[in-house]
A and B are shown apart, each in its own frame.
Chain A
């Protein structure tokens, strides 16, 4: 207390599940998240002025083949969180080529935003740019390190392993407005 105000970490006793359920990508310049006070979860997502047609684009990945990871490190007092999402997208196709091209372009120009629903129901936001109608420090997320293969045998994997990465100063904030609130923007 004399140095810093710490908080407790508590959770109701119960099991927890791993893995991702759903994933959406969005243009971070299009959406604004609401946070009632610092470090609260996000409760509202809305389009920003001038982004009337902006969408949240669902990414249909291979079930049980997507994961969100992060790694924290510190040098002196400077903290870094390396965030990563890996998702397996089945079937090499023109649609996949176009999708990957858009990720590359967006990553280069303005960064990517992701909404990630875990199998335990929690929803997280990665790469957001606007909170309470104000620009937050830049959280740049881009596709980096993806690969793909046709496979050799009939039952080999055919598709892409998409990897997106972004460094930031903290872990991700939760969005508590529910997945249906996100689906409304699809």
Chain B
């Protein structure tokens, strides 16, 4: 299940450098990673970008589920 992470409208064009890219926040597809780093570090400079933030636990569960799903998909391909 995908987690909803929303950036405040005024920060959609904000450039933030992480995970090998510096696209505006409104165009990024790895906001879950930024959200996790913002929560882990309690960095208010990053936390201010988010309209809605899940908890660290929710983010880590989502990461685990995504990994399990990917592993199962790979297994299906290998088993064919």
Residues of chain A at the chain B interface (Cβ within 8 Å): 32, 34-37, 43-49, 130, 132-133, 177-178, 180-185
- Asked whether, in the complex, the Cβ of B23 is within 8 Å of the Cβ of A34, the reply is no
Please judge, given known A-B contacts A32-B45, A132-B43, A184-B23, whether A44 and B15 are in contact too, CB under 8 Å.
no
- Asked whether, in the complex, the Cβ of B42 is within 8 Å of the Cβ of A45, the reply is no
- Asked whether, in the complex, the Cβ of A34 is within 8 Å of the Cβ of B21, the reply is no
- Asked whether, in the complex, the Cβ of A184 is within 8 Å of the Cβ of B45, the reply is no
B55 to chain A, nearest CB (A): 16
- Asked whether, in the complex, the Cβ of B46 is within 8 Å of the Cβ of A178, the reply is no
- Asked whether, in the complex, the Cβ of A185 is within 8 Å of the Cβ of B37, the reply is no
Residues of A contacting B5 in the complex (Cβ-Cβ under 8 angstroms)? none
| 8 A-B interface contacts by CB (under 8 A) | A34-B43, A34-B45, A132-B45, A133-B43, A181-B18, A181-B22, A184-B15, A185-B15
Please judge, given known A-B contacts A32-B45, A182-B22, whether A46 and B17 are in contact too, CB under 8 Å.
yes
- Asked whether, in the complex, the Cβ of A44 is within 8 Å of the Cβ of B42, the reply is no
- If A47-B14, A177-B19 are given as contacts, then 11 extra A-B residue pairs at C-beta distance below 8 Å, sorted by A number, are A34-B18, A34-B38, A34-B41, A36-B41, A44-B37, A45-B18, A46-B16, A178-B17, A180-B20, A180-B22, A185-B15
Residues of B contacting A35 in the complex (Cβ-Cβ under 8 angstroms)? 41
- Asked whether, in the complex, the Cβ of A181 is within 8 Å of the Cβ of B45, the reply is no
Residues of B contacting A44 in the complex (Cβ-Cβ under 8 angstroms)? 16-18, 34, 37-38, 43, 46
Residues of B contacting A36 in the complex (Cβ-Cβ under 8 angstroms)? 37, 40-41
